[in-house]
Chains A and B, each alone.
Chain A
């Protein structure tokens, strides 16, 4: 290792903390000053940024085989979970949600009803159209919260699935628009990854829907559809966040 390399190592060792904004102001200033005159360290920093961007866009993949039979077999030898500790009383709960969490919750609510929901799809779509007209189309997630609160006050046991479907679509549309608007701020590799993953997820959603149409009571397929839609929302949210960070 040359003296020149040793000098670079001293600076590159700080680049991850620089990237994560974890240096003290003095250290940050020193790194920034060095970067202004060092093309090699600047190149390393750019490559580290690409690694971090790629890591954020990694999407979960399901196992290749269904693992449930093996789990169910083990559960059979287990007694039901014992010594149940009551969950906190409903009145004491006060939970704060972020907007993406609410959007993701709407996806789960929309699809977890499985085959029963599927068979009611036409009726639900009619209800969602009515709900969409009464909601602010620019704040779909707020509309989800409003609908949840209305449902709570009415003490109804079933969430209107069609409404949540419409709001999932609205949330996806909003995020897709944000991504489209910020596309120019992302590097080409990131765009390629996002588009590739979106295509994969969209294909999974399409296949799950087709299969559910043929077998609407299949809970395994319902679970896959839920997960695929959640993954799409999560990926769009991450990608949109990247465009914001690039501002």
Chain B
């Protein structure tokens, strides 16, 4: 199904992007409110709850700064999502340098307490994702949660598709172990 561009002029997202690019902070706030849930969720799953708020704020500040580079060749949400992933990857590298090495201990997943009687399956599953080793976690989130292909992930992270596949399998096996009581 194809629509021409005239129809899009009325899309409130496109209108707000155009307004925000010209300095309208109210329009940018509307864009923030529309997209913050997805961006915050991505950030939380990739980096952890403890930094998700701060990194999400940084992502939107960078979005404001880079809005002039958005040319409308893709959907704004796609453009924003890619920008967010770049910020997250950059942050992870920074944290890795600060710590001297990645936290890559698979046994960390064993420390998660299984929710009694599966009171909140969603939170329990998200807690398990957050406990995955960093390398496996980001590929699990990008592939299985966000729906990216291995080739795309390899481009984003500067790794090979084979590494992406191996880390994904590792993540799934760890998640399977944690969720074995399903």
Contact = CB atoms under 8 A, between A and B. Distances in A.
Interface string B107-125: 0000000000010111001
Interface in A230-247: 231
A108 B40 contact: no
A81 B53 contact: no
Given A85-B71, A112-B34, A193-B122, A148 B3 contact: yes
B9 A90 contact: yes
B172 A52 contact: yes
Nearest to A109: B12
Interface in B25-74: 25, 28-30, 32-34, 36-38, 40-41, 44, 52-53, 56-57, 60-61, 64-73
B126 A16 contact: no
A93 B121 contact: no
Contact of A51 (B9, B75, B175): B175
B64 A75 contact: yes
A99 B70 CA distance: 24
A80 interface: yes
Interface string A133-160: 0000000001001001101110111110
A74 B33 contact: no
B145 A61 contact: no
B26 to A, nearest CB: 8
A156 B7 CA distance: 10
Given A55-B145, A62-B40, A87-B18, A72 B69 contact: no
A18 to B, nearest CB: 10
A54 B69 CA distance: 36
B5 interface: yes
Given A81-B65, A95-B8, A74 B176 contact: no
Given A50-B182, A197-B122, A223 B4 contact: no
B165 A16 contact: yes
A60 B81 CA distance: 13
Contacts of A90: 5-6, 8-9
B180 A47 contact: yes
Interface stretch (A28-36, A63-71, A123-131): A63-71
Contacts of B29: 68, 72, 219
B169 A13 contact: yes
B115 to A, nearest CB: 12
Contact of A70 (B22, B57, B65, B144): B57
Interface residues of B, number: 69
Interface residues of A, number: 82
Nearest to B178: A51
B98 interface: no
Nearest to B176: A47
Contacts of A12: 173
B176 A59 contact: no
B1 interface: yes
A39 interface: no
Contacts of B36: 62-63, 67-68, 223, 227
B176 A17 contact: no
Interface of B: 1-13, 18, 20-23, 25, 28-30, 32-34, 36-38, 40-41, 44, 52-53, 56-57, 60-61, 64-73, 75, 118, 120-122, 125-126, 129, 140, 144-145, 150, 165, 168-169, 172-173, 175-176, 179-180, 182
17 contacts: A12-B173, A13-B169, A51-B176, A54-B121, A55-B140, A75-B64, A79-B23, A85-B68, A90-B8, A91-B5, A95-B5, A97-B1, A155-B6, A159-B10, A192-B118, A223-B36, A224-B33
Interface of A: 12-13, 15-17, 22, 44, 47-48, 50-52, 54-56, 58-63, 65, 67-68, 70-72, 74-75, 78-85, 87-88, 90-99, 101-102, 105, 108-109, 112-113, 142, 145, 148-149, 151-153, 155-159, 189, 192-193, 196-197, 200, 219-220, 222-224, 226-227, 231
